[in-house]
Amino acid sequence: MSHVRHLPVVVIRKWIVGKRVAVDLAGGVSFHFDPIIMSTIRILFLGDIVGEPGRKAVIAQLPVLKQEEALDFIIVNGENSAGGKGITPKIAIDLLRAGAAVITTGDHVWDQQEIVEYFPTEPRLLRPLNYPDGTPGNGSVVLETAKGRVAVMQVQGRSFIQPPLENPYLAAEKEAARLRADGVGPIIVDYHAETTSEKIAMGRLLDSKVSAVLGTHTHVQTADETIFPGGTGYLTDAGMCGPDESILGRNIESVVWRFKTGMPTRFPIAKGAVRLCGAIVEVDVETGACVEIRRLSRLIPETSVNPLEFEALPNKE
């Protein structure tokens, strides 16, 4: 389902807006349309990539999606791409080579030790903006594209999530103002947070200040895509890119066993067909306003991703 602002005419990758102009003619009044061409950029955002099945599917499908959806810019969240915990330099490189322009992360960003030294070398890999000063890496990046500059920002919530970071609302508002003052139009925000209320609050806070606020972390895609009055696209959670027959990308039997018994156990990545979830947003490159937002949910057959085999029964620690 697609949520579109009410503009008169839509042409592929172009929006035509304008006004009716009345002209007095003999015998009556004639109307003509005075068009203004709006140039837009199409951006794909994919939710949390889970393990090897998720990243293999994403790497294989990015070129396909880019062509089918006429994409100009791709953002992926890779914080669970290394066995469900963090991301490695090699995985980051593979995702970038496959077509991702920017990789965001989240609360598992530091789970793989080698990523700490890699962050200063790759500005297209983001960690949450609201970490203290001096933390390796950056929370935002501005990239040049054929259609102008695009900014991506990531912030992390503070409800039911660790570690506790600086106030994400103050950090995001300040950074959005800085980017707009620098003349950047399209600004995409990945808000990695647990609760719906804090995500909606971020979207409302940044309405008219950024192009889109897209939530991550819960691995469950929501159906509330919208464009707020100020022109900011919004989706509470983009969902995950991981095994479809799973519990948040993990082996079903292991998770159910944990809830039934209360006993500790490992949660291996599930296997099988992978579902890619995210959103496609179309943004006015000059004003930064979102003119369309649409959820993406695509099931990729198991034969297309070659997932690893895992044990079906829980493996106690």
Residue recorded with tokens 């900011």:
232
- State the catalytic residue, choosing from 3, 32, 108, 219: 108
Report the candidate in 189, 185, 194, 130 with the shortest Cα–Cα distance to residue 160: 194
What's the residue count for the chain?
A: 317
Contacts with 34 (C-beta within 8 Å, 6 or more apart), sequence order: 18, 19, 20, 21
Query: What is d(CA 229, CA 233) in angstroms, rounded to the nearest whole number?
Result: 9
- Looking only at the bridges linking them, the beta strands covering 73-77 and 28-46 are parallel
Report the candidate in 161, 175, 173, 142 with the shortest Cα–Cα distance to residue 79: 161
| DSSP conformation class of 125 | B
217 is catalytic: no
Decide if 50 contacts 86 (C-beta within 8 A). Answer: no
Query: What is d(CA 228, CA 231) in angstroms, rounded to the nearest whole number?
Result: 6
| DSSP conformation class of 270 | P
Active-site annotation, residues = 108
